[in-house]
Chain A
C-alpha cells in the first residue's frame, strides 16, 4: 500500500536535539506503480507528543506546514513529479533544571526538500494495470534553516541566545522495481550548514541509503515488506537496519515500522492505521493515524500523528474540456 509505505514520520521529538534532527525520509516509496491521472496532493500532519520520564509527563503539540506534491503522467509510461517535504525535523521544546540554573530551549525549523522525479513504467500485468517493471530517478534540492532559542535563568535573571542555522544541499536517488520486488538507492547527498556568529561552515555528507521491498498480493490482501539500511560515513551516527511491514485490503490498512534512529540510543516503534475515502470525480482523501513510541535511556516519547491527505485527480484535464 503506497500510503503506508509513505509513512513519513513527522515530529517535534526531543531527540531531534542531536545530529541533524529527526530523519523524515525513512521508508520513503517513490514508485508510482498504477497511476493514470494527474494528481495534486496536500498533506497536513499535526503531531501530539507526550514525553515521559519516571512519573513525569509533559505534552507537546506541533504541526508541520502543508506538504505538496504533483504527479503528472506525461505519457502512458512516464510520470513526472515535483513536490516538497521535510527532510530533517529539528523542532523541539524542552527544559533543563540544574541546581539554580534553568534552561529553556525552543527550536523551530529543519531541512526542507524540493524534489523533481521521473518514473518510467514498463509493461502492465493483466487487468490490474500494475506495471511489470518501473524505474525512477529523483533529484532533490535541500534547503532550510533552524532557529534555536536558548533561554537561561538563574535566580531572577534571565537572558536568551538565538542560534540560527542555514542549510543548503542536495541528494539524488533512483530505484527499480520488477514484479513484487523493489530496490531503491539514495546517494551523493551533502548538506552545507552555516551558523550565525560563526565564520566556519560545516559540510556533511548525507548517508547513502539502500531500500529493498517486497510487495506480494495474497487474495485481496496487499502486503508490503521493506528493509532499509543507511550507510553513515560519520562515526558519530549509527548505520542501522530498519524494517516495515504493512498489509491492506481495499481501503483499510495497517503497518508496523521498527525504526532505530541514526542518533545513538534512540529506538522507535510505530504503528499506523490508514483509511482511504474516494470523492467521486474529484479525488480521494486519506486519514492515517500513527502512534510511535521512542525510547532513549529513561526517556520515553509517545507521538500520535493524525495525518490528513487530500488528493485531487485530473483537474487540469477536466478544465481543458
Chain B
C-alpha cells in the first residue's frame, strides 16, 4: 500500500468570494485543486427584497404625526412641584410576625429575643442530650454575638409584645422584658447556627417558666430565623439515639433604638418610621396627563444589615394624623442599595390623582417594606425632596 503524506492549502479570495483548496504531496505535486464559491451573489440578491420588507415593516418612523396632531397638541412639558411639608412618624411595632429574630446592640439600638416552648407532660428521664438550636439567616451581614439565655419571669403575647409592652394591655416591669438577672446559660451566635446545651434542672425550669429571653452580652447584631421565617428555634431532646423536637410556640424580638425628631425625615423598619410628604398642587397641571412624577431625594445615612432595602410609596387617604394615618394602596416600590446616595422613584399615580382630585391632595408616605422584617433606618437629607413632573395635554376623543 502506497502511503503518501499530503498537505492542504486553503486560499480565500474575498474579492471573488471564492476559496481555492489545493492538496499536494510532500514533493509538491498537486493531487486535487478545488475552487469553491463562498457566497453566491445571485443568491444574495434574491433575498434583498426580504431585507427591504423587514426594514420597511419594522421601523417606527413618525410618519403621519401631523395626523395625530388633529387629536391634540402633543408637547411634553416638565414642571417641578414644591414641597409643602415633610415629617416623620414612628412606632415601636410588635415584631412577632417577623420572619426574623433580631438580637444585638450597638449604635443606640438594642434587641432581645423572647421564646416560648410547650413541652409534653411526659417526664424526660434518661436523656442523653438537651439542646437549643437556632438557625442564622445568612442573607444578613451577621456579627458574632455572645448571648445570655435568661428565664422570662412574665408572660408575653407574641403578636403584641414590644420593648415597653408584653401585650396590648400590660407593660413589662422593666423595658426590654422581665427576666432573671442570672443567665441560665450563655451561647455564641456564630456561623450558621447557635446550639446551647442544657441539663435536666435547667430544662425543668424552662418547662415551668413563661419562656426564655436572649440578651446580647456584647455589641453586634445577628439575625435568626423565626418560626414565621421557616426555620423555627427548637429544643432537641436526644434519648438512645432518638430525637424529640419541640419547636417554639411563640417567638418575637423586642427592639429599642433612637427616634427621629418630628421634622426629620427618616424611614425605618423594626422601629417603624414613616415619612410623610405633601407637595403643592400647581394649577398648570389642571386637565393634564402626567407621564411621570420623578420623586428624587438624597440619603444622609443608612443603618442596615442588608445590602439593599425596599422603599415603598403610598398615598394618604386622609390628612396625616400620626403613624396610623389611613394609607392607600402601594403606588411605587424601589430597591435602593445601602451605598446609594440618591433615590429616584416614579410616583406618577400620585401626581395624576393630585391632578384629578386636587382637593384630596393629602400627600404621600415613604416607608421601608416590610416594616417588621429587619432593623433598618434610612435618614433622608432634610430639604432634599424634589418632584419633577412630565406631562402633556391629553388627546381629545374622536368626534
Q: Which residues of A contact B (CB under 8 A)?
A: 14-15, 17-20, 50-53, 56-61, 90, 94-105, 146, 148, 150, 152-155, 157-159, 161, 163, 165, 193, 195, 198, 202, 236, 296-299
Residues of B contacting A58 in the complex (Cβ-Cβ under 8 angstroms): 56, 59-61, 63
The CA-CA distance from A153 to B76 in the complex, in Å, is 9
The CA-CA distance from A98 to B77 in the complex, in Å, is 11
The CA-CA distance from A52 to B66 in the complex, in Å, is 13
Minimum Cβ distance to chain B for residue A158 (Å): 8
Residues of A contacting B390 in the complex (Cβ-Cβ under 8 angstroms): 154-155, 157
Residues of B contacting A152 in the complex (Cβ-Cβ under 8 angstroms): 76, 289, 291, 392
Minimum Cβ distance to chain B for residue A121 (Å): 41
- Contacts A50-B56, A95-B60, A299-B63 given; does A155 touch B74 at CB 8 Å: no
Tell yes or no: B62 within 8 A of A by CB: yes
Residues of A contacting B399 in the complex (Cβ-Cβ under 8 angstroms): 19, 202, 236
The CA-CA distance from A163 to B397 in the complex, in Å, is 8
Minimum Cβ distance to chain B for residue A45 (Å): 18
Chain B residue at smallest Cβ distance from A266? B67
Contact of A154 among B64, B291, B397 (CB under 8 A): B291
With A58-B60, A94-B64, A146-B398 known, 16 other A-B pairs at CB within 8 A are A15-B67, A56-B61, A57-B56, A58-B59, A59-B56, A59-B59, A60-B57, A90-B398, A96-B74, A98-B74, A152-B76, A152-B291, A154-B390, A155-B292, A158-B291, A159-B292
What are the nearest 6 A-B pairs in CB distance? A101-B76, A157-B292, A59-B56, A59-B57, A96-B65, A14-B64
Minimum Cβ distance to chain A for residue B109 (Å): 37
Tell yes or no: B51 within 8 A of A by CB: no
Minimum Cβ distance to chain A for residue B399 (Å): 7
Residues of A contacting B62 in the complex (Cβ-Cβ under 8 angstroms): 94-97, 102
Tell yes or no: B68 within 8 A of A by CB: yes
Question: Contact mask B382-399 → A, CB, 8 Å, 1/0?
Answer: 000000001010110111
The CA-CA distance from A195 to B399 in the complex, in Å, is 11
On whether the beta carbons of A56 and B63 are closer than 8 Å, the reply is yes
Minimum Cβ distance to chain A for residue B387 (Å): 13
Chain A residue at smallest Cβ distance from B349? A159
The CA-CA distance from A37 to B247 in the complex, in Å, is 85
Residues of B contacting A146 in the complex (Cβ-Cβ under 8 angstroms): 398
On whether the beta carbons of A154 and B56 are closer than 8 Å, the reply is no
Interchain residue pairs with CB less than 8 A apart (23)? A17-B68, A17-B71, A50-B56, A51-B61, A57-B56, A57-B61, A58-B56, A58-B63, A59-B53, A94-B64, A95-B63, A96-B65, A99-B76, A101-B74, A102-B62, A154-B76, A154-B390, A155-B390, A157-B291, A159-B291, A163-B397, A195-B397, A298-B66
Residues of A contacting B289 in the complex (Cβ-Cβ under 8 angstroms): 152, 159, 161
Contact of B64 among A53, A148, A157, A193 (CB under 8 A): A53
Contact of A299 among B66, B291, B392, B398 (CB under 8 A): B66
On whether the beta carbons of A99 and B75 are closer than 8 Å, the reply is yes
Q: Which residues of B contact A (CB under 8 A)?
A: 53, 56-57, 59-71, 74-76, 78, 289-292, 294, 346, 348, 390, 392, 394-395, 397-399
Residues of B contacting A53 in the complex (Cβ-Cβ under 8 angstroms): 63-64
Residues of B contacting A297 in the complex (Cβ-Cβ under 8 angstroms): 66
Minimum Cβ distance to chain B for residue A304 (Å): 12
Residues of B contacting A15 in the complex (Cβ-Cβ under 8 angstroms): 67
On whether the beta carbons of A299 and B394 are closer than 8 Å, the reply is no
The CA-CA distance from A14 to B66 in the complex, in Å, is 10
The CA-CA distance from A51 to B59 in the complex, in Å, is 11
The CA-CA distance from A156 to B91 in the complex, in Å, is 37
- Contacts A53-B64, A58-B63, A157-B346 given; does A103 touch B397 at CB 8 Å: no
Chain B residue at smallest Cβ distance from A200? B397
Residues of B contacting A155 in the complex (Cβ-Cβ under 8 angstroms): 292, 390
- Contacts A154-B76, A157-B346 given; does A104 touch B60 at CB 8 Å: yes
Residues of A contacting B294 in the complex (Cβ-Cβ under 8 angstroms): 157
Minimum Cβ distance to chain A for residue B360 (Å): 18
Residues of A contacting B57 in the complex (Cβ-Cβ under 8 angstroms): 59-61
Residues of B contacting A57 in the complex (Cβ-Cβ under 8 angstroms): 56, 59, 61, 63
The CA-CA distance from A150 to B78 in the complex, in Å, is 19
Residues of B contacting A195 in the complex (Cβ-Cβ under 8 angstroms): 397-398
Minimum Cβ distance to chain A for residue B196 (Å): 53
On whether the beta carbons of A165 and B392 are closer than 8 Å, the reply is no
On whether the beta carbons of A94 and B395 are closer than 8 Å, the reply is no
On whether the beta carbons of B63 and A154 are closer than 8 Å, the reply is no
Minimum Cβ distance to chain A for residue B378 (Å): 24
- Give the one of B65, B67, B76 with max A CB within 10 A: B67
The CA-CA distance from A99 to B394 in the complex, in Å, is 17
The CA-CA distance from A51 to B67 in the complex, in Å, is 12
- Contacts A59-B57, A98-B74 given; does A52 touch B292 at CB 8 Å: no
Chain B residue at smallest Cβ distance from A99? B76
- Contacts A14-B64, A202-B399 given; does A96 touch B292 at CB 8 Å: no
- Contacts A17-B68, A18-B70, A103-B74 given; does A95 touch B53 at CB 8 Å: no
On whether the beta carbons of A51 and B64 are closer than 8 Å, the reply is yes
Minimum Cβ distance to chain A for residue B28 (Å): 58
- Give the one of A15, A50, A58, A148 with max B CB within 10 A: A58
Chain A residue at smallest Cβ distance from B398? A165
- Contacts A154-B291, A154-B390, A157-B346 given; does A96 touch B76 at CB 8 Å: no
On whether the beta carbons of A94 and B68 are closer than 8 Å, the reply is yes
Residues of B contacting A161 in the complex (Cβ-Cβ under 8 angstroms): 289, 394-395
The CA-CA distance from A165 to B68 in the complex, in Å, is 17
